[in-house]
């Protein structure tokens, strides 16, 4: 009989009984038939057969017993017994379940995040064939770049044809869109420009209408069509098929992308949400509709190159072909470099490698940013799970000791050892199962919370965290593993009871020595230290990075995002802006007000430009268009020259101000003020010209984690959606609503879309650091508390167990310290061994964290002192109560015990 049919027997005894009945009935009927054939009357025959058959019920029972799997039967009994034991020790069981569920839940939450962001392949045809291209830039700000320009893309695409089919996908940007059905209100949507064959090569099918084709690539500017995501279709249009053919307008972004009308031609299928896990695309536009300056322009890198490799092609082969085309392109470009460039720079430029990265699970910048953090958090969660598991193991060991007589009795009455092991395992599985349920609930809450922390209000992160079978399998597997890990030792221990000794010693609880628990103490202390060490490194790092001086005022500066009415020209906007600023400066409580085209931290737009008379052929610098008064508002000191004045706004001779870092990097010791060079910021002709440097200001950091990047400030040339900076004398938040009204009153051209403080903007750049510090700090504390509880438990147990011995020692005149040493020495030794092992492991593992640390190294004084000190403190606290109890042992009572 197969195992399956046995199992089904257990769950449907009715079926097997019916079969048995039928079999027996057949037998009886045959017998009756035979007897009547010999001439016996029918009722006589029936009676005889019935008599002969005896008790049919008993017969049935007997056969059924053979058929039902005995162990499954006994398992049910064990589970019932286990439930009873759990109810009896409600508090202890509850603590075990809660600590385990916290750790299990953390593991499940971490797995669901890792799965959604890192592991899950894109829902497209054969995702393993997808790759994207990157290359090193040799700059500290951005070590590896993945944006390419149009001429290079065409060269690469032609070169790789037949081996890899390359297509373009722009970086995703939140853009303002007006659908025109709600009074012209603008909506922020995540948009992406893609080449016409992108959909074909990726594989999604349309849910309605059509997707892009190569025809949409033909003439730049001539294909005003758009594909919307399924999610947007449902969310915004209720799945209305009439969406096809509808027009909407897209705002320009002030950086060369001109606003214009687009017509919706299709909806992508539901499961396709773009190629960036965590940042689903709302709107796809044809690549040909991007800024016309971008085409044929090798200075304008704006999209990723993604590709699908042909069936038979090896990555190395593809890389070879692409590398050759890439290097050739650069060779052609070398002529455009400055004549007095250094040979090293030329060699580096020409020898830049091109990397093929797998895009099977997307090209997510979010993943690049958070993958390592998530793995670290997962590792921490697993360690905490092991600590919690060890606690539960010790708990079960102690309980086994209490139930030693029960075990011994059952053994001597003939229960098999296997039976006892099974019973103990059933109990631990019950605890683990309950913890798993709770843990899943916890994960349901925790994982989305973490996802929210990954994004910000204007750039939210959405991850698909649905409970799919992978997650459930993971949770179930982890639970079983945990149950086995912490259940086996107590189970073996319980079954190893020697009946005679256990039954002879009257008091009970003499059997299991605390020694059995000591390995768990060592394990807990070791893992606890690792978690604590890593956690405190990340917390220390966060504290350091958030105390970095960004170089500008943050605390009382308000940031107001503006939006201009559609159709207002640049000159009008400029006048309106001056009016708004003048009005704001007149409000009491406002110390200074100015505007900029971007947020001074967090957002950076990098342009290449040239400095004549230096070896630098191109300069990578952040360009910041600001109004006069910006440096004063932000409290950025002017180090040389002057700040912008109002006549710079419409001067014929353009001026610029550079940051100290810029001056030092490109001019060294030579003065920067007075230099003139060709500037071409972005692709707009209206920003090109001979710029004179009129001032140098102190460095500011738009990323607190990195050294100050070089910045070029130019007088605000044209404002699309600008940002106002207002420094308040007092509480800036109170001023906020007043400012909103004042802006509207000053000039109706502008509307305030959001108000925040500069400190909030700065904090947002430290998202990852805060998340890591918060979560790892939390789990470090949980781990520490669990380890301390474990230590306390074992120490208390050994004091109780050795009460007699302590009594004798006290009676013989042992001092307090001596008594404490007796009780604690061995456990303390285990804890020390754990500490040593934990420290070694922590130092080894810290190398995986180091890349995320800011000015903290694992061997710093505080990096070592903080976790070790905390651990010591926790250990002392855990030991205090048992020590006190040991000292207070009254020899008379202790010795009378038996």
Stretch in the footprint of other proteins (CB under 8 A) among 15-23, 308-316, 405-413, 424-432: 15-23
- Round to whole Å and give the CA distance between 115 and 471: 9
How many chain residues are in contact with other proteins, going by CB under 8 A?
Answer: 22
CB of 55 to other proteins, least distance (A): 8
Contacts of 260 (CB under 8 A, 6+ apart): 224, 249, 250, 252, 289
Nearer to other proteins, 26 or 336 (CB): 26
Q: Are 82 and 432 contacting, i.e. CB atoms less than 8 angstroms apart? A: no
**67 binding other proteins? (CB under 8 A):** yes
Q: Which of 27, 88, 368, 818 binds other proteins (CB under 8 A)?
A: 27
CB of 59 to other proteins, least distance (A): 5
Q: Which of 7, 18, 21, 34 binds other proteins (CB under 8 A)?
A: 34
CB-facing half-sphere around the CA of 14: CA atoms within 13 A:
1
Instruction: Compute the chain's Rg from CA coordinates.
Output: 37
**62 binding other proteins? (CB under 8 A):** yes
- Round to whole Å and give the CA distance between 688 and 681: 6
**219 binding other proteins? (CB under 8 A):** no
**53 binding other proteins? (CB under 8 A):** yes
Q: Are 590 and 727 contacting, i.e. CB atoms less than 8 angstroms apart? A: yes
**29 binding other proteins? (CB under 8 A):** yes
Nearer to other proteins, 58 or 312 (CB): 58
CB of 52 to other proteins, least distance (A): 7
Q: How many residues does the chain have?
A: 898
Q: Collapse the DSSP code of 853 into the 3-class scheme (helix H, G, I; strand E, B; otherwise coil) and give the result.
A: coil
**21 binding other proteins? (CB under 8 A):** no
Stretch in the footprint of other proteins (CB under 8 A) among 27-35, 266-274, 285-293, 487-495: 27-35
- Round to whole Å and give the CA distance between 823 and 840: 27
- Round to whole Å and give the CA distance between 553 and 635: 6
Q: Are 278 and 454 contacting, i.e. CB atoms less than 8 angstroms apart? A: yes
**71 binding other proteins? (CB under 8 A):** no
Residue 227 phi/psi, 5° resolution?
Answer: -115, 130
Nearer to other proteins, 5 or 549 (CB): 5
Q: Which of 7, 12, 13, 23 binds other proteins (CB under 8 A)?
A: 23
Residues 809-848 that bind other proteins (CB under 8 A): none
Nearer to other proteins, 59 or 877 (CB): 59
Nearer to other proteins, 21 or 855 (CB): 21
- Round to whole Å and give the CA distance between 701 and 110: 32
Stretch in the footprint of other proteins (CB under 8 A) among 29-37, 310-318, 401-409, 575-583: 29-37
- Round to whole Å and give the CA distance between 515 and 636: 65
CB of 72 to other proteins, least distance (A): 14
Stretch in the footprint of other proteins (CB under 8 A) among 49-57, 513-521, 753-761, 825-833: 49-57
Nearer to other proteins, 54 or 507 (CB): 54
Which residue, 355, 375, 276, is CA-closest to 852? 375
Nearer to other proteins, 71 or 247 (CB): 71
**51 binding other proteins? (CB under 8 A):** no
Stretch in the footprint of other proteins (CB under 8 A) among 47-55, 248-256, 766-774, 889-897: 47-55
* Buried/exposed 297-316: b ≥16 CB within 10 Å, e otherwise: eebbbbbbbbbbbeeeeeee
Q: Which of 10, 17, 24, 121 binds other proteins (CB under 8 A)?
A: 24
* Joined tokens for residue 609: 């430009």
Nearer to other proteins, 69 or 767 (CB): 69
DSSP 702-725: SSTTSPPPPEEEEE----SS-EEE
**19 binding other proteins? (CB under 8 A):** yes
CA separation (Å) from 670 to 474, 638, 639?
A: 62, 17, 14
**10 binding other proteins? (CB under 8 A):** no
Nearer to other proteins, 19 or 582 (CB): 19
**73 binding other proteins? (CB under 8 A):** no
Q: Collapse the DSSP code of 800 into the 3-class scheme (helix H, G, I; strand E, B; otherwise coil) and give the result.
A: helix
**22 binding other proteins? (CB under 8 A):** yes
DSSP 471-532: HHHHHHHHHHHHHHHHHHHHHHHHHT--HHHHHHSTT---SS-GGGGHHHHHHHHHHHHHHH
Nearer to other proteins, 59 or 441 (CB): 59
- Round to whole Å and give the CA distance between 891 and 897: 10
Q: Are 104 and 439 contacting, i.e. CB atoms less than 8 angstroms apart? A: yes
Q: Are 782 and 102 contacting, i.e. CB atoms less than 8 angstroms apart? A: yes
**54 binding other proteins? (CB under 8 A):** yes
Nearer to other proteins, 40 or 543 (CB): 40
Q: Which of 3, 37, 66, 242 binds other proteins (CB under 8 A)?
A: 66
* Joined tokens for residue 50: 């019935």
Residue ranges that bind other proteins, judged by CB under 8 A? 1, 19-20, 22-24, 26-27, 29-31, 34, 52-55, 58-59, 62-63, 66-67
């Amino acid at each position: 009989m197969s195992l399956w049919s046995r199992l089904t027997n257990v769950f449907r005894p009715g079926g097997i009984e019916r079969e048995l009945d039928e079999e027996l009935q057949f037998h009886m009927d045959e017998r009756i038939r035979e007897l009547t054939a010999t001439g016996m009357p029918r009722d006589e025959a029936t009676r005889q057969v019935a008599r002969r058959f005896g008790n049919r019920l008993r017969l049935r029972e007997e056969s059924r017993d053979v058929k039902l799997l005995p162990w499954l039967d006994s398992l049910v009994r064990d589970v019932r017994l286990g439930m009873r034991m759990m109810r009896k020790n409600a508090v202890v069981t509850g603590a075990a379940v809660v600590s385990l569920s916290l750790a299990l839940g953390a593991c499940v939450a971490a797995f669901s995040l890792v799965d959604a962001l890192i592991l899950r392949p894109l829902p497209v045809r054969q995702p393993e064939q997808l790759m994207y291209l990157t290359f090193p830039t040799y700059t500290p700000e951005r070590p590896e770049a993945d944006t390419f320009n149009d001429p290079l893309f065409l060269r690469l695409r032609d070169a790789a044809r037949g081996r890899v089919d390359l297509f373009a996908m722009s970086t995703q940007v939140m853009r303002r869109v007006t659908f025109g059905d709600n009074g012209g209100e603008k909506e922020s949507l995540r948009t992406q420009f893609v080449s016409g064959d992108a959909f074909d090569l990726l594989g999604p099918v349309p849910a309605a209408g059509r997707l892009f084709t190569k025809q949409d690539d033909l003439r730049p500017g001539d294909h005003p069509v758009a594909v919307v995501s399924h999610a947007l279709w449902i969310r915004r249009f209720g799945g209305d098929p009439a969406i096809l053919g509808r027009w909407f307008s897209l705002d320009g972004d002030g950086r060369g992308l001109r606003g214009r009308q687009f017509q919706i031609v299709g909806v992508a299928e539901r499961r396709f949400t773009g190629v960036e896990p965590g940042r689903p695309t709302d709107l796809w536009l044809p690549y040909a509709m991007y800024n016309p300056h971008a085409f044929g322009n090798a200075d304008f890198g704006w999209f990723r190159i993604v590709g699908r490799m042909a069936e038979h092609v090896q990555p190395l082969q593809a890389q070879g072909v692409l590398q050759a085309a890439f290097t050739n392109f650069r060779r052609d470009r070398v002529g455009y470099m400055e004549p007095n460039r250094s040979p090293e720079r030329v060699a580096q430029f020409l020898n830049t490698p091109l990397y093929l990265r797998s895009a099977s699970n997307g090209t997510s910048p979010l993943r690049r940013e958070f993958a390592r953090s998530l793995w670290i958090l997962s590792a921490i969660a697993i360690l905490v799970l092991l600590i919690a598991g060890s606690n539960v193991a010790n708990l079960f060991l102690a309980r086994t000791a209490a139930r030693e007589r029960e075990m011994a009795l059952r053994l001597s009455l003939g229960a098999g050892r296997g039976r006892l092991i099974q019973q103990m395992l059933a109990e631990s599985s019950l605890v683990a199962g309950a913890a798993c349920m709770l843990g899943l609930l916890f994960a349901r809450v925790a994982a989305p919370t973490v996802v929210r922390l990954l994004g910000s209000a204007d750039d939210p992160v959405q991850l698909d965290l649905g409970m799919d079978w992978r997650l459930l399998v993971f949770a179930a597997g982890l639970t079983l593993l945990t149950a086995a890990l912490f259940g086996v030792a107590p189970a073996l221990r319980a079954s190893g009871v020697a009946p005679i000794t256990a039954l002879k010693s009257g008091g009970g609880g003499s059997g299991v020595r605390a020694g059995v628990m000591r390995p768990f103490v060592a394990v807990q202390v070791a893992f606890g230290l690792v978690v604590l060490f890593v956690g405190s490194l990340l917390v220390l790092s966060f504290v350091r990075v958030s105390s970095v001086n960004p170089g500008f005022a943050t605390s009382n500066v308000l940031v107001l995002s503006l939006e201009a009415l559609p159709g207002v020209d640049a000159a009008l906007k400029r006048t309106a802006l001056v009016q708004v600023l003048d009005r704001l400066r007149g409000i009491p409580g406002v110390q200074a007000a100015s505007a900029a085209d971007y947020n001074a931290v967090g957002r950076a737009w990098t342009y290449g430009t040239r400095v004549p008379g230096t070896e630098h052929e191109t300069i990578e610098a952040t360009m910041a268009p600001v109004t006069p008064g910006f440096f004063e508002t932000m409290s950025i000191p002017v180090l040389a020259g002057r700040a912008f004045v109002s006549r710079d706004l419409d001067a014929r001779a353009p001026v610029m101000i550079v940051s100290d870092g810029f001056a030092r990097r490109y001019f060294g010791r030579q003065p920067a003020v007075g230099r003139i060079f060709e500037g071409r910021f972005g692709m707009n002709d209206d920003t090109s010209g001979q710029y004179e440097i009129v001032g140098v200001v102190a460095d500011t950091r738009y990323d607190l984690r990195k050294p100050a990047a070089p910045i070029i400030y130019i007088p605000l040339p044209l404002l699309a959606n600008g940002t106002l900076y207002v420094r308040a004398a007092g509480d800036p938040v109170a001023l906020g609503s007043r400012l909103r009204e004042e802006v509207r009153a000053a000039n109706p051209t502008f509307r305030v879309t959001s108000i925040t403080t500069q400190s909030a903007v700065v904090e947002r750049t430290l998202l990852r650091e805060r998340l890591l510090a918060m979560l790892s700090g939390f789990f470090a504390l949980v781990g520490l508390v669990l380890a301390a509880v474990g230590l306390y438990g074992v120490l208390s147990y050994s004091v109780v167990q050795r009460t007699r011995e302590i009594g004798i020692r006290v009676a013989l005149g042992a001092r307090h310290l001596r008594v404490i040493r007796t009780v604690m020495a061995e456990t303390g030794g285990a804890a020390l061994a754990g500490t040593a092992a934990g420290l070694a492991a922590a130092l080894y593992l810290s190398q995986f964290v180091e890349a995320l640390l800011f000015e903290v190294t694992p061997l710093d004084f505080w990096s070592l002192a903080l976790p070790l000190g905390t651990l010591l403190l926790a250990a002392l606290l855990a030991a205090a109560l048992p020590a006190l109890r040991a000292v207070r042992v009254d020899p008379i009572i202790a010795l009378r015990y038996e």
